[in-house]
Amino acid sequence: MEELRKGLLRIVSLVKREAVVDRATVKKILRELERELLKADVPPLIVAEIARRVEERTLSEEVPPGFSRRELLLRNLYQELVNMLGGESRYEPRIRKGSVVLLVGLQGSGKTTTAAKLALYYKKRGFKVGLVCADNYRPGALEQLKQLAEAVGAEFYGDRSLPPVEVARKGVAALRERGVELVVIDTAGRHKEERALLEEVKELAEAVKPDEVMLVLDATIGKSAGAQAEAFHKAVPIGSIILTKMDGAARGGGALAAVAKTGARIAFIGVGEKLDELEPFDPPSFVGRLLGMGDLKALVERMEKARLSVEPEALLRGKFTLLDFKRQLEELSKLGPLRKVLELLPGSYQLTPELEKASAESIKRWVAILNSMTREELLRPELLDHSRMVRIAKGSGTTVKDVKELLAAYKQAQKLLRQLGRSRQARLGLR
């Protein structure tokens, strides 16, 4: 990743150094950006798309008062890179006390190491964790995982005499009996035939009904990680992805972008061989580091404030897209429990504890659904026909019914804003 970081830092300093930021310089800088992204193995189509969007936005958007086009360019660059890697909000894997996680992926991708890393990560967060070895193909697999389990202080289950599906089933039961709160199942990746591997993964998933299937991908393969993610997804619904070997992977950026493009969510990245070298993947902070943020982050926040202070007017005029709705939901989830939010509003709102919990959960689900939409869909919700809804539901691990529920909530919010707008206009004597 170091190479991509250096390349992007060079772009940022180029933006800062240019005497004037006009159409020609924007184009020149974006050609440089394309070169850097291609070097990192980001798929050419994504590279072209991101350059086009940054260019279009930078040249057409109004520069907010008090800012320059140079700053607009930096802000757009940051936002489009965040978009490319999955959006503003971090995907939270469905891991709670009592969960079962199934790790799948090709041999050598880093599954066994990652199983131990996850055990350590969740142990530090107060879980009693257990590891199951469902890899009976590779000699030594059981010993490897057993030793790792000891090293991180996790329970272990393995049985070389049983077929993998049986081991997984029994392992979950046995570990639960020992009071384990999070079971992580490590599987085999070794199959000469890809189809046989996918078949086994499918059987395993049906047998243990995991709360989260995590696909482990090796980031050094660059953009082909996208095709691998899709192949696995066809066999079994992948909840999230862990990209390993991001340390020193020159093509790691390409792997991230290609995977995010499939609509899959990246939950963690592996950044070294050591067991604590696992990081939750959060696109904004990741891009921040790539661009050497700090001052840039402050800039983005200031511009966002300036934008929000003018936006309510636009909202009240009825221009309220799914993208606006998404931003509001993200703001809401940052504010914490819905009750707290309602306390900030005039009037009295009562929430039962059940409703409160349900609301927090649907907000999370809605944000996941919105994250699976393209920018175009967010801006033009009328595009959302049944087949798009199916894709979005699949990409966000929800159902078409959930997508429809979200759209209904969006329409409700839109209606409310229109009414607000009308009553305000009436008060101001405009109608």
Residue 220 touches which of Mg ion, ligand GDP, none (Cβ within 5-8 Å per kind):
none
Binding to ligand GDP (CB under 6 A) within 173-212 occurs at: 189
**Closest residue to ligand GDP in the complex (CB):** 270
3-state secondary structure the chain: CHHHHHHHHHHHHHHHHCCCCCHHHHHHHHHHHHHHHHHCCCCHHHHHHHHHHHHHHHHHCCCCCCCCHHHHHHHHHHHHHHHHCCCCCCCCCCCCCCEEEEEECCCCCCHHHHHHHHHHHHHHCCCCEEEEEECCCCCCHHHHHHHHHHHHCCEEEECCCCCHHHHHHHHHHHHHHCCCCEEEEEECCCCCCHHHHHHHHHHHHHHHCCCEEEEEEEHHHHHHHHHHHHHHHHHCCCCEEEEECCCCCCCHHHHHHHHHHCCCCEEEEECCCCCCCEEECCHHHHHHHHCCCCHHHHHHHHHHHHHHHHHHHHHHCCCCCHHHHHHHHHHHHHHCCHHHHHHCCCCCCCCCHHHHHHHHHHHHHHHHHHHCCCHHHHHCHHHCCHHHHHHHHHHHCCCHHHHHHHHHHHHHHHHHHHHHHHHHHHHCCCC
Residue 113 binds ligand GDP, judged by CB under 6 A? yes
Residue from 58, 109, 228, 398 touching ligand GDP (CB under 6 A): that is: 109
Q: Least Å distance between CB 111 and Mg ion?
A: 5
**Least spacing, CB of residue 186 vs Mg ion, in Å:** 6
Q: Give yes or no for residue 301 binding ligand GDP (CB under 6 A).
A: no
219 makes contact, choosing from Mg ion, ligand GDP, none, with CB < 5 to 8 Å by partner type, with: none
Of the two residues 208 and 249, which places its CB atom closer to ligand GDP in the complex? Answer: 249
**Least CB distance to ligand GDP at residue 316 (A):** 49
Q: How far is the CB of 243 from ligand GDP (least distance, A)?
A: 8
Positions 247 through 276 that interact with ligand GDP (CB under 6 A): 247, 270-273
Q: Which is nearer to Mg ion, 217 or 315 (CB)?
A: 217
Out of ligand GDP, Mg ion, none, which partner does residue 270 contact, by CB within 5 to 8 A per kind?
ligand GDP
Asked if 365 interacts with ligand GDP (CB under 6 A), we say no
> 247 contacts which partner out of ligand GDP, Mg ion, none, CB within 5 to 8 A by kind?
ligand GDP
Select the binding partner of residue 239 from ligand GDP, Mg ion, none (C-beta < 5 to 8 A, by kind).
none
Which CB atom, from 79 or from 113, has the smaller least distance to ligand GDP? 113
Residues contacting 280, CB < 8 A, separation 6+:
90, 267, 268
Site for Mg ion, rule CB under 5 A: 111-112
Q: Does 110 bind ligand GDP (CB under 6 A)?
A: yes
**Binding track over 64-83 against ligand GDP, x by CB under 6 A:** --------------------
Q: Which of residues 271-300 bind ligand GDP (CB under 6 A)?
A: 271-273, 277
Which tokens go with 206?
A: 């049906």
Total residue count of the chain as it appears in this document: 431
The two beta strands, 240-244 and 129-134, are unpaired
- Contact mark string toward ligand GDP, 317..336, x via CB under 6 A: --------------------
- By CB under 6 A, the residues from 366 to 405 that bind ligand GDP are none
Between residues 111 and 233, which has the closer beta carbon with respect to Mg ion? Answer: 111
d(CA 80, CA 30): 12
Angle at 82 between CA 1 and CA 46, to 5 degrees: 75
Segment interacting with ligand GDP, rule: CB under 6 A, options 81-89, 242-250, 348-356, 401-409? 242-250
The half-sphere exposure of 142 on its side-chain side, counting CA atoms within 13 A, is 14
By CB under 6 A, tell whether 53 contacts ligand GDP.
Answer: no
Q: How far is the CB of 78 from ligand GDP (least distance, A)?
A: 26
Which among Mg ion, ligand GDP, none contacts residue 245 (Cβ within 5 to 8 A by kind)?
A: ligand GDP
- Residues touching ligand GDP: how many (CB under 6 A)? 17
108 forms part of the interface with ligand GDP (CB under 6 A) = yes
Q: Which residues bind ligand GDP (CB under 6 A)?
A: 105, 107-113, 189, 244-245, 247, 270-273, 277
